[in-house]
Each structure stands twice: as C-alpha cells, then as structure tokens.
Amino acid sequence: MSERIGIYPGTFDPITLGHADIIRRGAKLVDRLIIGVTTNPSKNPMFSTEERLAMVEREVAGLGLANVEVKGFNALLVKFAKRENATVLVRGLRAVADFEYEYQMAGMNQQLDDDIETVFLMADVSLQPIASKLVKEIALFGGDITPFVSKQVCEDVVARVEKRGQLGDY
C-alpha cells in the first residue's frame, strides 16, 4: 500500500491554536501531512511568506509530530497536491459560514482532480471562534491575543504591531 499524503493548506497569518489543533488531528489521518503555506491575493498579510513559513515551521516543531512537514507554495492547490503526491486535503471548519465556502472549494477541487479527497475537521469547541483575521484585529487595537496563539506567535504579532503602530493610536 502506498503512503497516504495529506495537505493542510492556508495562509497562517498568523498560525493560531486552532490551526495547531487541526494539524495535530490531521496528522493522525495520514502517513505524512504537509502544511502548505500559501499566498492569498485577496488577503493583506501581516507577515511575509518567508516569515509565515518560519513561524509555522517553529510551531510545528513544537508539536513534536514526526510525520508533519511545512512547505510553501504559490500555485493552484490541486497542482501543489499532485506535485507532492497528496490524495487528501485537510480543512478545518469553525462555523456554518466556513462550511459553505469550504464546500464550494472542495467541489471545485474535485472538478479539477477527482483523485483528491477533501476531509473536513471540526475545530475543537474551545477554539472555534479563533480566526487569524480576528487575532490581527485584536492585536492592532491593543487587545490581548494570548488565549488564541502560542507565546512565541503572540510575541511575533505584538512586535509587528509595535513596528507598524496600533490602530487605536490613530
């Protein structure tokens, strides 16, 4: 039997405790899980692709999962999956709104390559409200993001906000 490879794609700007939960759980479903750090033209990232890759690599290393690796990509997800010989896409769901978008994406990906299956994992109940966008917004207004990200990611975000200036300062 061949190795089952999965991809958990995202911008991870920044990586949250919710992402880490999906990574831990997704790693149990496949022989090898690739965390695909990508760009998204519709998002305005706080961190560069290189910074996000380094952040995700550091956080994944802290999880101690031998079957998880981090790779950057800037291509159509199904093309990246094909290049990596992946047959499973892991996606996290927080709410119904996530499902509608992810369901549409899964359908499009299936149309592009029906050899790739999408697996949805529900976020842990305690982590469901966490979204990178909201973490950044809270930080930009000087709020406490420690319940949503690791200590090191918190330090990264706070340092970036201090460099740019809080929105509440304007």
Catalytic residues: 19, 43, 94, 132
Give, rounded to a whole angstrom, the gap between the first and last alpha carbons of the chain.
Answer: 59
How many other CB atoms are found less than 10 A from the CB of residue 101? 11
The secondary element (H helix, E strand) that includes residue 127 is none
Dig out the tokens for 116 from the structure.
Answer: 């790739």
DSSP state of 10: E
